[in-house]
């Protein structure tokens, strides 16, 4: 059955087919590891996880690459401000390398709690300086770059359709792109490929690199003046070219272009990220591939919507964020958060409240209790099983419609025409996409308690209220709570 996914490039649902064989090559923009990851990030990576699981459910193999941004992401999405990593290091009085290590670990520990499958390749920007510099050199060679006092910049006016991904006309400067005012830049949307360490500054993360320019690609008078001013810039003539030797660091966008191409090839299937990346980061990635390779690298751009708090994007800069530590301190199961994310489509906003998480936790508990109380000796016909599987596939293959898929799972559990065993098998099958660890539901509530609950259900049906009450007390004495529902009961661990 075909899979349809919403491609930001073109802004419509398209049939997805991998470029080669049955293997999907996919890249996700990873976190900038200068602070704790928050619920917004968690949603982004739960979405990626669902996408991967849906592809696998459709019998595709997936090669998934994710980067760790540990250099070059400045406090503004334009090319001004401090490096976020250096900000984190100053805040905590640690080295940038320590900051990166600490928050990378914290991030993956949260991912594990959310049952997010690890990418096949996790690559750090700082380990790929060489690849990034090589790609910048290609961009220079092809005539898309120029030098100003603080770095090497990409000339966006050289591309006819810069801004195509975001659907904006670069001449109009709309689509909310944050455009930095820098009089030295040729065009407002031009962005840094490489930044020079400013005069008199010593960065913890900086490298010495060489870039070669043809005479017509360089304004020699200007660059000589920059070199006079800043000892981190040197320019010399080497045979027919000018060699620029600089101390500095890569711009943020080049890391994802260089690493995705290194691990997935010049053209690959899917690139993911949050919608904030569309107008700047990903627009610039598209530009870089076109300039360096003369082609677009990505077939499907897929973006998740935001988690909001009081209708504002959850973000570190607004200080309105919650971390995994907050979730755990308040006694919530991280998988209840995963359940909450699944009840919204990845392309719709989620306004996070603790009440919504509480409701998700209750629903998740009920779901597990319902599964725990299934009697696997009760079998039913198989005809409906096939129908349900087909329906499930239709739903998830329709641009990952998880809210509908969750609703279908509840329908299965309530369907009187299915035997308990069939229900159990269907739910576990669906859970290979949901990743809610529903196979553990039965382990959590011991058989002894389920048996008591079944006895009590029988007593209630026979209107033997005294016996029903006695059994309830027994269940409670063993540390479980039982609640009556329309079609049976729910059991919770106290």
The binding site for Zn ion (CB under 5 A) comprises 29, 256
The single residue listed with the structure tokens 């360490």 is 197
Rounded least distance, CB 96 to ligand AMP, Å: 15
Closest to Zn ion by CB, 110 or 256: 256
Phi, psi of 124 (to 5 degrees): -90, 140
239 CB burial (10 A radius; 0-12, 13-18, 19+): exposed
Rounded least distance, CB 259 to Zn ion, Å: 9
Rounded least distance, CB 21 to ligand AMP, Å: 28
Rounded least distance, CB 29 to Zn ion, Å: 3
Closest to ligand AMP by CB, 57 or 102: 102
Rounded least distance, CB 355 to ligand AMP, Å: 19
* Alpha helices for 191-304 (secondary structure H): 220-229, 252-264, 283-293
Q: Which entry of ligand AMP, Zn ion, none binds 32, CB below 5 to 8 A by partner kind?
A: ligand AMP
Q: Does 259 participate in binding ligand AMP (rule CB under 6 A)? A: no
Query: Given the rule CB under 6 A, which of 9-17, 35-43, 164-172, 468-476 is the region that contacts ligand AMP?
Result: 35-43
Q: Which entry of ligand AMP, Zn ion, none binds 256, CB below 5 to 8 A by partner kind?
A: Zn ion
Closest to 3 (Cα-Cα) out of 60, 46, 44, 42:
60
d(CA 432, CA 438): 9
Q: Does 72 participate in binding ligand AMP (rule CB under 6 A)? A: no
Rounded least distance, CB 124 to Zn ion, Å: 13
Closest to ligand AMP by CB, 201 or 310: 310
Among 29, 51, 287, 395, which residue interacts with ligand AMP (rule: CB under 6 A)? 29
- The alpha carbon of residue 32 and the mean position of all alpha carbons in its chain are separated, in whole angstroms, by 12
Neighbours of 362 (CB within 10 A): 13
Q: Which entry of ligand AMP, Zn ion, none binds 423, CB below 5 to 8 A by partner kind?
A: none
Q: Which entry of ligand AMP, Zn ion, none binds 306, CB below 5 to 8 A by partner kind?
A: ligand AMP
Rounded least distance, CB 70 to Zn ion, Å: 12
Q: Does 43 participate in binding ligand AMP (rule CB under 6 A)? A: yes
Site residues for ligand AMP, window 291-350 (CB under 6 A)? 304, 306-307, 313-315
Among 16, 26, 31, 468, which residue interacts with ligand AMP (rule: CB under 6 A)? 31
Closest to ligand AMP by CB, 307 or 452: 307
Closest to Zn ion by CB, 33 or 491: 33
Rounded least distance, CB 203 to ligand AMP, Å: 20
What x/- string results for residues 445 through 474 when contact with ligand AMP is judged by CB under 6 A?
------------------------------
Q: Does 490 participate in binding ligand AMP (rule CB under 6 A)? A: no
Among 5, 24, 26, 44, which residue interacts with ligand AMP (rule: CB under 6 A)? 44
Cβ-closest position to ligand AMP: 274
d(CA 252, CA 282): 11
Q: Does 255 participate in binding ligand AMP (rule CB under 6 A)? A: no
Q: Does 274 participate in binding ligand AMP (rule CB under 6 A)? A: yes
Closest to Zn ion by CB, 44 or 449: 44
What own/partner pairs with CB < 8 Å and gap ≥ 24 does 384-387 have? 384/415, 384/417, 384/418, 384/422, 385/418, 385/422, 385/425, 385/426
d(CA 421, CA 414): 13
Closest to 281 (Cα-Cα) out of 192, 188, 207:
192
H or E element, residue 7: strand 3-7
**Contact between residue 78 and residue 178 where contact means Cβ atoms under 8 Å apart:** yes
Write the DSSP assignment of 365-418 as a string of letters: HHHHHHHHT--TT----SHHHHHHHHHHHHHHHBT--HHHHHHHHHHHHH-TTS
Phi, psi of 485 (to 5 degrees): -125, 175
Rounded least distance, CB 48 to Zn ion, Å: 13
Rounded least distance, CB 146 to ligand AMP, Å: 27
Structure tokens that stand for 343 in this block: 């009840």
Q: Which entry of Zn ion, ligand AMP, none binds 334, CB below 5 to 8 A by partner kind?
A: none
User: How many CA atoms are closer than 13 Å to the CA of 355, on its beta-carbon side?
Assistant: 3
d(CA 42, CA 272): 14
Indicate the DSSP class of residue 217.
G
Among 88, 248, 273, 435, which residue interacts with ligand AMP (rule: CB under 6 A)? 273
All residues at 6 or more sequence positions from 242 whose CB lies less than 8 Å from its CB, including other chains: 212, 213, 214, 215, 218, 220, 223, 235, 236
Closest to Zn ion by CB, 300 or 392: 300
Closest to Zn ion by CB, 96 or 278: 278
> Residues interacting with ligand AMP, by CB under 6 A?
29, 31-32, 40-41, 43-44, 273-274, 276-277, 304, 306-307, 313-315
């Amino acid at each position: 059955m075909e899979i349809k996914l919403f491609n930001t490039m073109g802004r419509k649902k398209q049939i997805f087919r991998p470029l080669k064989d049955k293997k999907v090559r996919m890249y996700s923009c990873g976190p900038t590891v200068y602070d704790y990851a928050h619920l917004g990030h968690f949603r982004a990576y739960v979405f990626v996880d669902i996408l991967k699981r849906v592809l696998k459910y459709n019998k595709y193999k997936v090669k998934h690459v994710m980067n760790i941004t540990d250099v070059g992401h400045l406090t503004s999405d334009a090319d001004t401000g401090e490096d976020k990593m250096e900000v984190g290091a100053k805040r905590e009085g640690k080295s940038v390398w320590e900051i990166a290590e600490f928050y990378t670990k914290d991030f993956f520990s949260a991912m594990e709690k959310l049952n997010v499958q690890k990418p096949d390749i996790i690559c750090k920007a700082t380990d790929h300086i060489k690849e990034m510099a090589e790609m910048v050199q290609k961009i220079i060679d092809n005539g898309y770059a120029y030098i100003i006092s603080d770095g090497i910049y990409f000339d966006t006016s050289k591309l006819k359709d810069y801004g195509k991904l975001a659907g904006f006309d670069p001449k109009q400067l709309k689509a909310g792109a944050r455009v930095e005012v820098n009089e030295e830049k040729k065009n407002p949307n031009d962005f840094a490929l490489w930044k020079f360490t400013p005069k008199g500054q010593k960065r913890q993360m900086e490298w010495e690199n060489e870039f070669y320019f043809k005479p017509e690609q360089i304004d020699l008078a200007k660059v000589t003046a920059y070199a006079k001013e800043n000892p981190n810039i040197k320019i010399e003539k080497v045979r027919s070219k000018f060699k620029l030797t600089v101390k500095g660091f890569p711009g943020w966008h080049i890391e994802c272009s260089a690493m995705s191409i290194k691990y997935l090839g010049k053209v690959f299937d899917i690139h993911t990220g949050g919608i904030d990346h569309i107008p700047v980061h990903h627009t610039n990635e598209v530009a870089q591939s076109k300039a360096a390779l003369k082609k677009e690298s990505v077939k499907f751009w897929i973006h998740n919507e935001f988690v909001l708090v009081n209708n504002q994007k959850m973000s570190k800069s607004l200080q309105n964020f919650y971390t995994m530590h907050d979730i755990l301190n308040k006694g919530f199961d991280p998988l209840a958060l995963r359940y909450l994310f699944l009840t919204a489509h990845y392309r719709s906003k989620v306004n996070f409240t603790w009440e919504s998480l509480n409701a998700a936790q209750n629903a998740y508990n009920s779901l597990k209790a319902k599964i725990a109380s299934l009697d696997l000796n009760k079998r039913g016909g198989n005809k409906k099983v096939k129908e349900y599987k087909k329906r499930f596939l239709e739903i998830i293959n329709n641009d990952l419609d998880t809210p509908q898929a969750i609703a279908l799972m509840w329908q299965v559990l309530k369907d009187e025409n299915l035997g308990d065993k069939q229900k159990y098998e269907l739910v576990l099958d669906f859970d290979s996409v949901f990743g809610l660890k529903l196979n553990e539901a039965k382990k959590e509530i011991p058989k002894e308690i389920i048996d008591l609950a079944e006895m009590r259900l029988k007593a209630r049906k026979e209107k033997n209220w005294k016996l029903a009450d006695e059994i309830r007390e027994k269940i409670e004495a063993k540390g479980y709570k039982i609640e009556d529902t329309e079609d049976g009961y729910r059991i919770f661990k106290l």
